[in-house]
Structures are given as C-alpha cells and as structure tokens.
Structure 1
Amino acid sequence: MEDYMKMFMEETNWYNEIVLPKKLHSMLPHFLRSWLRTTLCAFLLYPLAAFFCVNFWKRYASSSKEKMPSKREMVWQALGAYQSIPFSTLFSTGFEWMAENGWTQCYPRISDVGWPSYVIYTIIYLFIVEFGVYWAHRLMHDIKPIYKYIHAPHHRYSKENIISPFTGWSGHPLDGALQETPYGIILMFVPVHFTTFLGLFLVEAVWGVIIHDRSDPKAWPIMGSNYHTFHHTSGRYNYGNYTIFMDWFFGTLRHPKLNANHVKPS
C-alpha cells in the first residue's frame, strides 16, 4: 500500500521538477513545492487564457454592439485575481496531499480499474461535481453573511459592460476556493484517476475565464457565458458550472434572451 501511494507523490514530484528550479525544489518540503508549482502555473495560465478570450471577443464585439471594459478596468480585475490565486491553489494542493496520503479514492493508473470503469467513474464524478458546485455557488448567494463578505466582491461586476474574461478569477481570496471544495470532497467517495483529476481541475480554472467572456455560444446544454452574464446582471439564477441541468432541475434556470428585461433584485 505504501508503494502504491508513492506513485501519487512521484507524479506530483515530476511536475514540481519541471516547473521549479532544482535549488528551490530541494529547499522546500513537498507540500510547499506543490503549492508553489501550482501557483506559478496559475499566474501564467490566467493571463494567457484571458488574453486569448479578449482577442476572440474583439472579433465578436466588432460585429455587435457589445462594449468592452476599459483597459484600466481589466487591469484592476487582474490584480484582484492575482490576490486570490494563492488561496485557491492552496486548496487544490490540499486535494493533491489528500490523494498522496490515502485520504481519497484516487488511483494512479487507468490499468488499475480498466477503461470501462475509468469512463464510468469519471462521468459519475463529473455529475456529482456539477451538483456540488451548483449548490456551493447557490449557497454563497443564499447565505447572506457568506455573500456579503466573500462572494459579493466578485459580483461588484454586475453590469454587462464591465464583465470581461479577467473577471473570472477576481474576487475574495476564499471565493474560488470554496467553489472548488466539491472537487476534493467527492474524491473521498468516487474512484478517480489522479492525472485525470488534475486535468479536470485545470479545465475548471480555464472555464472560469471563458464563462466571463460575454460571447453568445449556441452549444446546448452548456452553461455558456451568456447564461453566466445574466447571473451577474440579475444577481441570481444560472448557478451551474458546465451545464444548465442543475439549474433546470432546481428551477433556477433563466435564458438570457427570454429574460433580457429582468430587473436586478434589491
């Protein structure tokens, strides 16, 4: 069992060695190495994803009446995101630590379960994550102290013309971390391939940028940025992560075009 658990640490060590200088790698304990690696990668990934979306958005906006935020506004959003990133990566590093120490149902090789089980477990995991992120996000709105002190800073971007891809990670340091929590909790109950989990977490981070780009995708049942923009301008509804299913099931789905005249609640 101990040798089996070492496989997780060997994988994260390999990632750490790629990102961190050798001297720094040898100076720090494993957890801090992993946290620093994840944080540095996030510092690089965030602007790359946001700039990509902005350039896509410029082409989209040039043929529409969309108005982009000023460069100054997007810089402030980026600064807010960079304050939050180290706390979010602390949570994700904690999930890695849980797997390395046998607290989860993670397995290191797909051959440990076989491809059919790998696919089934991954689908189950994603479905439960969708449920968990929906409720984590919704409760951050419904529980007033949490909304006021943690989630409200992200919702200061409540007007359509100040929402941008840089908005995605901008907010209170605990905001993104709390919404990430279902990813780690569910690992304790559902078998998930460790590398796949790390990849899904990376996709989630990029999705947080894309969902704020204010484009108008036609990819049902994806919870596209048009739905999420309406979430910001209305102050409620459309709490989902990747899809509209949870909002549809729990009665909080609102189509942005059908509800274009919705008045934001006081």
Structure 2
Amino acid sequence: MDLVLNIADYYFFTPYIYPATWPEDDIFRQTISLLIITNLGAYNLYFFFATLSYYFVYDHSLMKHPQFLKNQVYREIMHSVKSMPWISLPTVSLFLLEVRGYSRLYDGVGEFPFGWFRLLASVLSFLFFTDMLIYWIHRGLHHRLLYKRLHKPHHIWKIPTPFASHAFHPLDGFLQSLPYHIYPFVFPLHKVVYLGLYILVNIWTISIHDGNGCKNEKLFNGEGKKAE
C-alpha cells in the first residue's frame, strides 16, 4: 500500500492538502491518508465493478423470484456504503504496519534467489493460504454463537445481486478479508503483486454474488436452523 500512498502524496496530498511542514512519514498523516485512500478505493471498485456485473453479467430474471426483497438493490447498496468505512478502520491499521515496514513485502524481484520463480510461486501460495483460511473463518461464522450476530445480515439477500458483495456486518467483512492481510506478514510477497491480488480479490467478491454463488450457503446456514 506504500506504493499507492507515495503516488497520492506526490500528486495530491503534499501539493494540495497537507501543510508543507507536515512530514510525509508522520504516522498520523499516514493514518489519515490511508483512511482516505482505502475508502475511496473501496467505493470506486465496488460501484464500478458491481455496476458492470449487474448490467452485463447478472441474470435479471432472478429478480422475479419470490425471495427477492422489495427495494433490494437499494438496500444492498446502502448496507455496503454504511459498512465499508467501519471495515476500513482495522484494515487501515494493517496497511499502516505495512507502510512502516513491519511486513515482508518487498520491491525488487532480484532480492531473492530464483526471484521470478519465487514471485510466481507466491501467487499460488497466496491463493491457497487465503482460500483455506477464509473457508475456516466462514465456517466459524456459521456457528450458532456467531451466525445471528455477525453473519446472518449478509444472508438476508437470498437472491443476491453483485451489490450485495460488500453488504456485511463490519466485523464479518473484516474477518473474511483478514487472511489477505495476514499473508504478507508471514510470507515474502512483491508489493505490486500484493496490490494486484488485493484488487482482484475485491472483483472476485463481486463476481460470486451473481445470484448463484451463494446458493450453497444453505448447506451451512439453513436460515440459521442448521448453523452449528
């Protein structure tokens, strides 16, 4: 995330927003900047790709289903818009640790032996690591002690549209994104690869909410009746 922060500082924050006397590496300035960048980025990704998916991919005949709620698209959007700033708070704390050098993110491919091979292997490792952890986090969120409080709000949308992709309880949304942020603190990962994967993950999250991707959830929740 420091790549994005450096660009934002150079072209926007330093010349137009912050006083010249406020150092770019000040932790409070970095926190504010990351909050702005994260929220603007999240909203832009959400509205751009969810809108594309809704108009060009989503099967609109699903909206005739009896379980499709009144004003559902508007409600999905409002739920997402209200949740994302709260999800961003703990997310930014992890981004801040990355920016201040506490992660294992690196700049140069040549920093490690077999650099390009290691880079390609890290993509596969990232996908395996995050998918495995998300499975267990998601399964845990279906436990009876957590389901109604945290995860059930996302399953209000029995016939979801792409706009439901980020309509989570804030803690639920953060927990399911946590593996993506944990990985670069455990394993080396190129900064550009990390940024690219972070964007792709958000697009993927939108793409699986096409009305069919969540059908298997009933195996877990059964409207909460079969939750563990």
Q: Name the counterpart of 1:122.
A: 123
Matched, 1:12 2:5: yes
Question: Using a 3 Å threshold, how does the CA distance of structure 1 residues 141 and 190 change in structure 2: closer, same or farther?
Answer: same
Give the Cα–Cα distance (whole angstroms) in 2 for the partners of residues 57 and 38 of structure 1: 26
Give the Cα–Cα distance (whole angstroms) in 1 for the partners of residues 57 and 156 of structure 2: 21
Deviation digits for residues 172-194 of structure 1 (CA, Å, limit 9, x no counterpart): 11221111111122222211112
The residue matched to 2:53 in structure 1 has which SS? helix
Q: Percent identity?
A: 24
Offset of 1:20 from its aligned partner? 5.5
Q: How many residues align?
A: 213
RMSD: 2.6
5+ long unaligned stretches in structure 2: 23-27
Question: Using a 3 Å threshold, how does the CA distance of structure 1 residues 231 and 19 change in structure 2: closer, same or farther?
Answer: farther
Question: Using a 3 Å threshold, how does the CA distance of structure 1 residues 141 and 207 change in structure 2: closer, same or farther?
Answer: same
Tell me the TM-score normalised to structure 2 length. 0.81
Matched, 1:82 2:75: no
Q: Which residue identity does 1:172 align to in structure 2? A: H
The residue matched to 1:145 in structure 2 has which SS? coil
Q: Name the counterpart of 2:25.
A: none
Give the Cα–Cα distance (whole angstroms) in 1 for the partners of residues 49 and 224 of structure 2: 32
Give the Cα–Cα distance (whole angstroms) in 2 for the partners of residues 201 and 10 of structure 1: 13
Q: Name the counterpart of 1:67.
A: 63
The residue matched to 1:171 in structure 2 has which SS? coil
Give the Cα–Cα distance (whole angstroms) in 1 for the partners of residues 10 and 77 of structure 2: 28
The answer as to whether partners of 2:147 and 2:224 remain within 8 angstroms in 1 is no
Q: Which residue identity does 1:102 align to in structure 2? A: G
Offset of 1:22 from its aligned partner? 4.1
Tell me the TM-score normalised to structure 1 length. 0.70
Give the Cα–Cα distance (whole angstroms) in 2 for the partners of residues 46 and 21 of structure 1: 27
Offset of 1:128 from its aligned partner? 0.8
Offset of 1:122 from its aligned partner? 2.3
The residue matched to 2:55 in structure 1 has which SS? helix
Matched, 1:170 2:155: no
Q: Name the counterpart of 1:134.
A: 135
Greater relative contact order: 1 or 2 (C-alpha under 8 angstroms, separation 6 or more)?
2
Q: Name the counterpart of 1:37.
A: 37
Give the Cα–Cα distance (whole angstroms) in 2 for the partners of residues 29 and 265 of structure 1: 43
Question: Using a 3 Å threshold, how does the CA distance of structure 1 residues 16 and 79 change in structure 2: closer, same or farther?
Answer: farther
**Of 24, 30, 43, which aligns to 2:17?**
24
